[in-house]
Amino acid sequence: MKDLKVNGYTISCKKWKFRIPDVMALLALTYWAKSRDRKTVRRCMRHSTPFGVFSPEGKLVGFMRITSDCATVYYLADVVMADEERGKGLGLAMVRYALSHPRVCRGKGLLLTQTASGLYEKVGFYKVGDRLMIRDPVNMSPV
C-alpha cells in the first residue's frame, strides 16, 4: 500500500519504518498501554500491521495497529497521537488510511475505546455497550 501525504506528514504501513522505542514512547502516553514492556510491544508489532503518522522530519507522531485474519474480521488497537499533533485531523486521516488497506480490513471491524467513540463513528463504527465498537461492511459507504 502506498504512503499517503497529508499536509507535509506521511501516513504509512511499511513495517521497516517503525522503531520499537518510538512506538513505546507513543504508547507511554496512553492509559491502556503505558506499562507495556519492550518484548510485548515487539510481539504485538510482529503479529499485526502497524500504521503511523510521520512528521515532515520523519518522527513517528501517530500510531495504530490492526490485527486481522485478512478475510472476515479485524481489530483496531493502540490508536494514539502525540499531544502536540492533536487537533490537526491526522488521527482521523490515519484511521481512514488504515481502513482502506485492501488486505487487512476485510469483513467486520472491532475495537475497544473509553474516550474516542466520536472519532470512530465518523468512519462507520457504532457502539455496542460501554466500550465495544463494531464496523460492519454490509450496507456501508466507503470511508
Residue 101 belongs to some domain of the structure? yes
The number of CA neighbours under 13 Å toward the Cβ of 97 is 28
Which domain range does residue 85 map to? Answer: 4-108
Residue 75 belongs to some domain of the structure? yes
Count Cβ atoms below 10 Å from residue 36 Cβ, excluding itself.
18
pLDDT at res. 139: 55
Residue 142 belongs to some domain of the structure? no
Residue 130 belongs to some domain of the structure? no
Residue 121 belongs to some domain of the structure? no
pTM: 0.91
Residue 115 belongs to some domain of the structure? no
Q: Are 125 and 116 in contact (CB under 8 A)?
A: no
Helix (H, G, I), strand (E, B) or coil at 21: helix
Residue 65 belongs to some domain of the structure? yes
DSSP 91: H
User: What's the average pLDDT block by block, 10 residues per block, for the chain (143 residues)?
Assistant: 96 96 96 93 95 97 96 95 94 96 90 90 92 82 54
- CATH code for the domain in which residue 18 is found: 3.40.630.30
Length of the chain in terms of residues written: 143
Residue 97 belongs to some domain of the structure? yes
In the chain, the number of structural domains is 1
Whole-number Å distance between alpha carbons of 23 and 69: 23
Count Cβ atoms below 10 Å from residue 46 Cβ, excluding itself.
8
